[in-house]
Amino acid sequence: MDDLVWRRFDCFIGLFGDLGNFLRKLFNISLGGADELSGYGFGVATTFALSFALLEREHIRVDAVIAVLPKRLHVAINFLGLWLLIGFAFILTAMVWSMVADTLTHGSRSITPMRVPLMIPQLPWLFGWVFFVFTGMLITLVSLQRLWRRDRDGVQALIGVKSIDEQIKDESV
């Protein structure tokens, strides 16, 4: 269901942009705001996609480096990568939080003809960042629990690089 909602939203934004281009080229009429709305939607969708990518182990890694390291170091490298990613996201989230607080304090609006109150796109954007950090912290805790139980395969399945077989299985379904 969620996939269908995002596809319809994406289709709507695309058609709205196309209609705006068509009207502007043929009749010199502007819908004004198609690019603004699509930018807001892209920003919000991206923050939630980060969490999805983390759960699916789809974040980009340097697999060539992992392949040459001894297997006993894989867990440590994967934890380091996860902590660096979530640490960076935490810093970014704190900065976004500060920006949204300023927006709410000053009642800021966009400087476009639409004059959108910036809290409308910024609050879901902030929530997406918070959700990403929360997801990363939860994955870290579950991974540590698995490591504590000496379940290295379980840790690998949660935060490790996908094997070629796993990637083929994902792509063929």
- What is the C-alpha separation between 76 and 74, in angstroms, rounded? 5
At 1, the pLDDT band (50, 70, 90 cuts) reads very low
3-32 mean pLDDT: 74
Alpha helices in 2-70 (DSSP H): 2-27, 34-55, 63-68
Mean pLDDT, the chain, whole residue set: 86
CA distance 34 to 37: 5
Q: Is this prediction's pTM over 0.95?
A: no
**83 or 16, higher pLDDT:** 83
Asked which of 19-23, 76-80, 128-132 is least confident by mean pLDDT, the reply is 19-23
Neighbours of 46 (CB within 10 A): 14
pLDDT tens string 41-73: 889 989 999 999 999 888 777 777 777 888 888
